[in-house]
Amino acid sequence: MDLASLRSTAAENLSLKLLAFAFSLVLYSWVHGSQEAQRSLNLNVDTAMPDKPSRVLTTPIPPTIRVTVRGPKSTLDSLRTEDVPSVLLDIRKGTESRVTIDPSMIPAPPGLKVEQIDPAAIDLVWEDVVARDIPVEVGVVSAPAPGYVLKAGPKAEPTVARARGPKSEVMVIQRVRAEAFDLAGLTEGTYTRQLAIDRPRGRVVYDAQSVTATVEVGREVAERLFSRVPLEVIGRAGARAHPPDVDVRVTCPPEVVRALRAEQIVPRAQVTSAAEHGSDALSVVLSVDQCDARVIPSNVVVRW
């Protein structure tokens, strides 16, 4: 057969041949698309929790579950995970010990059948929620300026914080710790600062995020005891005190204490009575520059 004959044969019934070819393509697509197939999807999980829980869930809920669906391959090929709504777990009663995920809970598109769910059930453990007042603890860091010391504090206000959460976690808390009070460079005076409370661990919450802390800084002091210091009676010649001597404890800046001499410590009792003879219980008076002095005993009996 020559070339002209081939061309003539190929051109015969061309329209019918093209129509048959198009029909074959459509038929192939329909048959191929209607074939059943499987596909796995990771679906998000939403949880409906109790509104005002007196119990708290201690087991974690998985953020997603794996769902295997079966259906037409064409439907599966065009299916996107974000097109499928989240799976809702309703545990608002707060008493469920196990929640089962069945196919009716999976919002699968029409034409698709849920064949497998992983996990198909989730065990739940609940715990009572309790509240308890815990003492607040404030520490200090650094040191005041040279020659000064911390005299009082830090004192926190409020003194306690209320912790709320699972009983097993709340009952083991001994102290609520706050940020440390920085004493660096402080001189004499009273200082107040707002300090943040450390965040609690686990599922415990505090009713406060900070406390007001106060410290008092004073001059550094030292003590020294002078024993059996003779008592001087003034205002009446020949008067005698009982006991005739006292102990004196002085509190002063360290450099003043070191420089004190015994002759500078002169305790006195003054007689003011006009009677020629008599006795009286008198207070002992003592003044030491830059020092606080305590006399023991503070009163003596003077006779004249």
Q: What pLDDT does 14 receive?
A: 57
Q: What pLDDT does 118 receive?
A: 95
Share of the chain above pLDDT 70, in %: 89
Q: pLDDT tens across 228-283, in order?
A: 999 999 999 889 999 999 999 999 999 999 999 999 999 999 999 888 889 999 99
Residue 8: is its pLDDT beyond 80? no
Q: What pLDDT does 55 receive?
A: 86
Q: What pLDDT does 261 receive?
A: 94
Residue 66: is its pLDDT beyond 80? yes
Task: Note the Cα 301 to chain centre separation in Å.
Answer: 62
Selected residue with higher pLDDT from 52 and 169: 169
Q: What pLDDT does 166 receive?
A: 93
Q: pLDDT tens across 190-213, in order?
A: 999 999 999 998 899 999 999 999
Q: pLDDT tens across 23-62, in order?
A: 555 444 554 445 889 999 999 999 998 887 788 898 899 9
Q: pTM for this structure?
A: 0.58
Q: What pLDDT does 27 receive?
A: 46
Residue 17: is its pLDDT beyond 60? no
Q: What pLDDT does 15 receive?
A: 63
Q: What pLDDT does 12 receive?
A: 60
For the chain, report the end-to-end CA distance as a whole number of angstroms.
166
What's the chain's average pLDDT? 89
